[in-house]
Amino acid sequence: MPDLIITDAACTRCRECVATCPLRIIELPRGGLPPRFTEDGARRCIICGHCEAVCPTGAIAVDDPRLDPATYQLPNVTLRPEELGAYLRMRRSVRRFRPEPVPRESIVELLEVVRYAPTGSNRQGVKWLIIHDTAEVRRLTGMVVDWLRTQAGSGSPLDRHFNLAGMIRSWKKGNDPICRNAPHLVIAHSARQHPTAAVDAVIAVAHLDVLAPAHGIGTCWCGFFQMATEAWEPLQRALALPEGHRPDYALLLGYPAVSYRRPPKRNRLEIAWR
């Protein structure tokens, strides 16, 4: 169970931790004593760390064996809204990759940041399977094509919406219309016990998708791979996810062989105000 570590001398009793805790499980006892968990607070704590994050004097910290003890030194940087807006507008799906691998450490560096994405009840249940071996990406892509063969000509919505026969022909010719010859494939997966598990994973993948270009790394959501992982047993067996885990989304990853010069146009914004 988590514990609250208080540096009594630093605590000004300002109540910021009490007011910010989303579960209201921190109290300031009478008699000028420092903050502490309410009676069942430790059991209910979701270890979101907001008490620690909000404390003006750094007097409170959450301790739990699940927490990575590494500390992050916040750099003194300010991102202007127009910089972030320009960055987000310039993020693009990359479908042309250079063949050289992205070092494992660079991918870990991205995922270290992605850990900060929100998750329902701060469950942090998103796990990652990284197919780093490019030959293995190709082998798995072949399995997606096997699944597409079962879909082509079936008249299913997928078959009607996409030119599956054309994709299969393209694969036969040595092209890769599924994984776009990406050197790596990142798969987020989770045990689906928690109601927000699948959404948590998609949010995490979105954070990865947004962060990667800042490191010179390109990504593309891989819907065909994802659909195949949900439907095609041979591919599920090949992924060998932990018992009870489901693939939540697949993202292609590699150094881009394309550079985008300007943002494309987007559909008109539609908003209803009430």
Ligand X SMILES: Cc1cc2nc3c(=O)[nH]c(=O)nc-3n(C[C@H](O)[C@H](O)[C@H](O)COP(=O)(O)O)c2cc1C
Q: Smallest distance from the beta carbon of 262 to ligand X, in angstroms?
A: 12
Q: Which is nearer to ligand X, 242 or 263 (CB)?
A: 263
Residues 184 and 253 sit within 8 Å (Cβ to Cβ): yes
Q: Smallest distance from the beta carbon of 220 to ligand X, in angstroms?
A: 5
Binding site for ligand X (CB under 6 A): 92-93, 95, 220-224
CA-CA distance, 179 to 134, in Å (whole number)?
Answer: 11
Residue 211 CB neighbours (<10 A): 18
145 backbone dihedrals φ, ψ, rounded to 5°: -65, -40
Strands (E), the chain: 3-6, 26-27, 36-37, 60-63, 127-131, 184-191, 218-221, 245-254
CA-CA distance, 184 to 102, in Å (whole number)?
Answer: 8
Identify the burial level of 46 via C-beta atoms within 10 angstroms of its C-beta, where 0-12 means exposed, 13-18 middle and 19 or more buried.
middle
Q: Smallest distance from the beta carbon of 93 to ligand X, in angstroms?
A: 4
Q: Which is nearer to ligand X, 26 or 140 (CB)?
A: 140
Residue type, 267: N
Q: Which is nearer to ligand X, 43 or 87 (CB)?
A: 87
Q: Smallest distance from the beta carbon of 39 to ligand X, in angstroms?
A: 45
Look at residues 111, 80, 81, 85 and name the one whose alpha carbon lies nearest to residue 219.
111
Q: Which is nearer to ligand X, 76 or 259 (CB)?
A: 259
Q: Smallest distance from the beta carbon of 150 to ligand X, in angstroms?
A: 17
Q: Smallest distance from the beta carbon of 157 to ligand X, in angstroms?
A: 15
Question: Among all residues, whose Cβ is closest to ligand X?
Answer: 223
Q: Which is nearer to ligand X, 22 or 223 (CB)?
A: 223
Q: Which is nearer to ligand X, 94 or 107 (CB)?
A: 94
Rg (CA), the chain: 23
Residue 241 CB neighbours (<10 A): 17
Q: Which is nearer to ligand X, 60 or 182 (CB)?
A: 182
Residue type, 177: P
Q: Smallest distance from the beta carbon of 30 to ligand X, in angstroms?
A: 53
- Element holding 110 (H helix, E strand): helix 104-114
56 backbone dihedrals φ, ψ, rounded to 5°: -65, -25
